[in-house]
A and B are shown apart, each in its own frame.
Chain A
């Protein structure tokens, strides 16, 4: 037993967790005694410190810091023999593993677990909203449901699932044996379940879960019961995970590309994650700051948001949205990358306008930082800032439009393989346009003044995040499923999943535009009689979407356990991840590939993207020429 408690792993993690909680008492009690606070043992105070200390105890116990501590204390570090690479049983997914492929799967499976949780919360909300009046839950519990629903799906599903997919495929795509910082990568992953568990635990706290929306506007959040802190601190862990992964991606992409892979020969998924990582690294500290303000106000009585003490309520929103608007691109750009991969491969054509596709990603990164105040058109901020923000918000539709039109041009005259990944890609293309159109409407100040905080907004964000991001995630998961698991998924179930999701999604969120315009505010447990018909309709449709997710889960689980073995390259794709076996060898490439051409040269006779020879044996073609040289027929 002592041996198990000394070795890194789950038993020691449990011990670390207990020590973290004990440490919280050891800090709080003496401090309260010194200040003479009554009562001496205060549950709130101990919990807040424990929310910070216990996770670190858990991570120490799990072994996330072992190597660094050995190194820092001058003890002999265990040379990295890569014995931690790969996974031979399910147990290997429950320890600190430095293999990017294992981490990719840890990330993806964990975030899909949270998708199911977040989706189940949505089902509860729709059950309550099926009729006007209060049925199943109290208004406070309802506020908790939508707050946790949004927080879980944003911070524990969409953002990390993209990091998970990219973790698996990105090093393979650029011909690297792993990520640049494998130990940091493992730590990034393990911060996630901590954040998610914390947010879900808030339901068990006296006073209920946090119930101030995922936006947690002050001063509502600074006066809220203890559950609020589970969001405030949970976001710090999710954010730290996000920043660490983004740094890892940036360094990996910049320094670890295979010989011959210039920036202009990178697949667009790599470009997309490069752009996303820039956004994450620059923006995420701002949400961390906004939540630290709330923490200090709530826990230590700072007065950041108390107007009588010189506090400024609007400041919270500026800092919050300076992250949270770029965050919608953090939740969309990786999806753009996935769609570019799939559409090119499944239409058997090079991506149309490759360089403009990459430039438009960078344009979105830059413009994404100039639009945040469009969330605040009715917030009472200074009026002059509205018009410039309206213009930048509208203009950001231009690079997005370039991408949509380029994908359409890629489809044109191709040979379209309409299997599940492609169906989801096309579903994304058609639905995201609607989200984009309502987005442009929401740039227009007079329209926003009427529809902000209504169901029109709910419709818009779900067309962008569900019809947009989630469709790209489904497309990506089906597309890389053979590579990640070595098995094929069931095509028939995949198509059924697509059609029920596609139709159910539109029936659920389409009518929300209308009831929002008609005057139904968002975030309400009860509503006026005039909206009863549509709400019942929406609830029924949403249950269909919920059921379709079960089909997906069944397909994934059953195919992973017993699907037919996948070939190395079932889609006849050119990018490097498909040039190795499925699943890939433990160190990705037995020979480092040399990249000799663009990633999407479909239809070019004899074109290859990478070759597996020693670098001296092939003369790489000059960078960038092959990918974009216009060829007239």
Chain B
């Protein structure tokens, strides 16, 4: 029984980890979250396998056979030791997982030096990205998000009308854009230069499903060129 359970768990874990669960990794936060999810999978599969194998074993071994119609099982009312075990072990496991998640959360939200700030504003049904002014110039506004690769970024998120949610699945982070307050989160983009979808994740009305834009992560130098050009454009308008 135990050996079969162990083998089934091992196979289950291998299978669960073999599934390609995640979108591409677009931020260092993504690595943290993906590892945490893998750990949760590893902790969950044995519990799932345990329950399924006991049910299947009972169905196979203890099912009523012809002639047993009027038979009863043994009157077992409980077992204190067993009940203590299945209360404390899950409790310890859960507290352990919470502690790990807490550490991951701290890493993800750590403030990095040299952080670039982007102001994100949601409205029905579009996002606007604003790069704060530098050296007395004018701020730069765009409809597509441009970010330098490998740089910490902080998003200040606001809303003009209803609640939206600023999400780039590849960054793994999201936060609601709430009317009346400014919310925020931080990411550090990875070194790869790629484009990702910007998704509104909170139901915001009839255009919710189409509230999509693009986040372009550019190599540092290319981003600087783009930014220079945009600043010049902003200055001239």
Chain A residues with CB under 8 Å of chain B are: 138-140, 142-143, 211-213, 217, 219-220, 223, 307-308, 311-314, 347-350, 352-356, 378-380, 386-387, 390-391, 394-395, 397-398, 401-402, 404-406, 408-409, 411-418, 426, 429-430, 433-434, 437, 440-441, 443-447, 449-450, 452-454, 514, 517-519, 521, 523-528, 572, 601-604, 607, 627-631, 633
Contact of A440 with B44 in the complex, beta carbons under 8 Å: yes
The answer to whether B73 has its CB under 8 Å from any CB of chain A is yes
Most buried by A among B44, B77, B82, B105: B77
A602-B208 contact, Cβ under 8 Å, with A380-B178, A446-B108, A453-B201: no
Task: Give the residue of B21, B33, B55, B77 whose beta carbon is less than 8 angstroms from that of A411.
Answer: B55
The size class of the interface chain B forms with chain A is 35 or more
- Complex formed: what's the CA distance from A446 to B38 in Å? 12
Alpha-carbon separation in the docked complex, A443 to B37 (Å): 12
- Distance of B145 from chain A, by nearest CB (Å): 16
Instruction: Summarize B's interface: helix, strand, loop or mixed.
Output: mixed
Smallest CB-CB A-B distances: 4 pairs: A307-B180, A519-B169, A380-B183, A414-B73
Q: Contacts A353-B83, A444-B36, A452-B174 known; A415 to B68 CB distance under 8 Å?
A: yes
Known: A139-B208, A220-B163, A401-B90. A628 touches B78 (CB 8 A): yes
Q: Contact between A408 and B54 (Cβ–Cβ < 8 Å)?
A: yes
- Candidates A518, A607, A631; contact of B23 at CB < 8 Å: A518
Given contacts A397-B94, A440-B40, A446-B105, contact A454 B201 (CB under 8 A): yes
Q: Contact check, B181 vs A445: say whether CB atoms are below 8 A apart.
A: no
List residues of chain A with CB within 8 A of the CB of B209.
Answer: 139, 142, 524-527
Contacts of A390 in B (CB 8 A): 98, 101-102
B87 / chain A contacts, CB cutoff of 8 Å: 398, 401-402
Please indicate the chain A residues that have their CB under 8 angstroms from the CB of B101 in the complex.
390, 444-447
On whether the beta carbons of A523 and B77 are closer than 8 Å, the reply is: no
Residues in chain A near residue B108, CB distance under 8 A:
446, 449
**In chain A, what residue has the closest Cβ to B103?**
A446
Contact of A517 among B22, B68, B161 (CB under 8 A): B22
Whether B3 is near chain A, meaning CB under 8 Å from some CB there, is: no
Binary A-proximity of B70-112 (CB < 8 A = 1, otherwise 0): 1111111111101100110011001101100110110010000
A167 CB to nearest chain B CB (Å)? 30
Give the docked Cα–Cα distance between A572 and B167 (Å).
56
- B74 and A380: CB pair below 8 A? no
Contact A441 B40 (CB under 8 A): yes
Task: Given contact pairs A430-B55, A447-B101, A450-B172, enumerate 10 new A-B contacts (beta carbons under 8 Å).
Answer: A307-B179, A313-B180, A348-B71, A380-B181, A412-B54, A415-B62, A433-B47, A437-B48, A446-B32, A454-B201
Closest to A305 in B: B179
Which of A398, A446, A525 lies in contact with B90, CB distance below 8 A? A398
Nearest CB of A to B102, in Å: 6
Quick check: is B51 within 8 A (CB to CB) of the other chain? yes
B77–A350 touching, CB < 8 Å: yes
Bound-complex Cα distance A443 to B77 (A): 33
Q: Is the beta-carbon distance between B58 and A378 smaller than 8 angstroms?
A: no
Task: Tell me if B173 is interfacial: C-beta within 8 Å of chain A.
Answer: yes
Inter-chain contact A414/B23, CB cutoff 8 Å: no
Alpha-carbon distance between A391 and B179 when the two chains are bound, in angstroms:
29
7 CB < 8 A contacts A-B: A211-B206, A217-B162, A219-B179, A380-B157, A409-B79, A414-B58, A437-B44
With a cutoff of 8 Å between Cβ atoms, the chain A residues found around residue B178 in the complex are 313-314, 379-380
Contact of A440 among B58, B71, B94, B105 (CB under 8 A): B94
A457 to chain B, nearest CB (A): 10
Does chain A have a CB within 8 A of B199?
A: yes
A509 to chain B, nearest CB (A): 15
Q: How far is the CA of A229 from the CA of B115 in the complex (A)?
A: 45
Partner among A402, A417, A445 whose Cβ is within 8 Å of the Cβ of B105: A445
Partner of B33, one of A140, A414, A447: A447
Report B221 CB to chain A, min CB distance, Å.
29
Residues of A within 8 A of B197 (CB): 519, 528
Chain B residues in 8 Å Cβ range of A607: 75
* Given contacts A211-B206, A519-B169, A426 and B59 within 8 Å (CB-CB): yes
Bound CA span A138–B208, Å: 12
Chain B residue at minimal CB-CB distance from A629: B77
CA–CA, A408 to B201, complex, Å? 39
Which residues from chain B contact A313 at a C-beta distance below 8 Å? Answer: 163, 178-181
**Contact flag A356-B98 (CB < 8 Å), given A217-B163, A430-B52, A450-B172:** no
Interface check B175, CB cutoff 8 A: yes
B27-57: which have CB < 8 Å to A? 32-33, 36-37, 40, 44, 47-48, 51-52, 54-55
Contact partners of B54 in chain A: CB under 8 A: 408, 411-412
B6 within 8 A of A: no
Q: Which residues of B contact A408 (CB under 8 A)?
A: 51, 54-55, 58
For B76, the chain A residues whose CB sits under 8 A away are: 349-350, 352, 409, 412-413, 631, 633
8 Å CB contact of A603 from B52, B72, B163: B72
Is B80 a contact partner of A630 (Cβ separation < 8 A)?
yes
A395-B94 CB under 8 A given contacts A441-B40, A447-B36, A514-B21: yes
- B21 near A517 (CB under 8 angstroms)? yes
User: Contact mask B197-237 → A, CB, 8 Å, 1/0?
Assistant: 10111111111111000000000000000000000000000
* B47 → chain A closest CB, angstroms: 7
The answer to whether B58 and A631 have CB atoms under 8 Å apart is no
Q: In the complex, which of the residues A353, A378, A415 contacts B78, with contact meaning CB atoms closer than 8 Å?
A: A353
| Given A143-B203, A307-B180, A401-B86; A449-B77 close (CB under 8 Å) | no
B52 nearest CB across to chain A (Å) = 6
Specify which chain A residues have a CB less than 8 angstroms from the CB of B80 in the assembled complex: 630
Q: Quote the shortest CB–CB distance from B111 to chain A (angstroms).
A: 13
Residue of A with least CB distance to B41: A441
CB nearest to B196 among chain A residues: A519
Task: Decide yes or no whether B64 CB sits under 8 A from chain A.
Answer: yes
B77 contacts A220, CB within 8 Å?
A: no
**A411–B64 CB distance below 8 A:** no
Contacts of B64 in A (CB 8 A): 415-418
Contact between chains at A416 and B74 (CB < 8 Å): no
Whether the pair A394, B48 counts as a contact (CB closer than 8 A) is no
Bound Cα distance A434, B51 (Å) = 10
Tell me the minimal C-beta distance from A108 to chain B in angstroms: 28
> Given the known A-B contacts A379-B178, A402-B86, are A349 and B73 also in contact in the complex, defined by CB atoms under 8 Å?
yes
CB-nearest residue of chain A to B178: A380
Residue of B whose beta carbon sits closest to that of A316: B163
- Distance, CA A412 to CA B181, complexed state (A): 55
Nearest A residue (CB) for B210: A526
B71 near A415 with CB under 8 A, answer yes
Contacting residue for A347 out of B73, B175, B202, CB 8 A: B73
A217 CA to B94 CA, complexed, in Å: 31
Residues of B within 8 A of A521 (CB): 167, 199-201
Compute how far the CA of A378 lies from the CA of B163 in the bound complex, rounded to whole angstroms: 12
In the complex, which residue of chain A has the Cβ closest to the Cβ of B181?
Answer: A380
Q: Which of these, A402, A411, A453, A631, contacts B174 with CB under 8 Å?
A: A453
> Across the two chains, which residue of chain A brings its CB closest to B108?
A446
A356 to B181, CA, bound (A): 46
The reply to whether B23 and A519 form a contact with Cβ atoms under 8 Å apart is yes
**Are B98 and A443 in touch, CB under 8 angstroms?**
yes
Contacts of A415 in B (CB 8 A): 62, 64, 68, 71-73
* Neighbour of A380 across the interface among B40, B83, B176, B201, CB < 8 A: B176
For B175, what are the chain A residues with a Cβ–Cβ distance below 8 Å? Answer: 378, 380
Interface centre among A349, A380, A405, A628 (most CB of B within 10 A): A380
Check A404 against B72 for contact (C-beta < 8 Å).
Answer: no
- Whether A630 lies near B77 (C-beta < 8 A) is yes
Residues of chain A with a CB closer than 8 A to B40's CB: 440-441, 444, 447
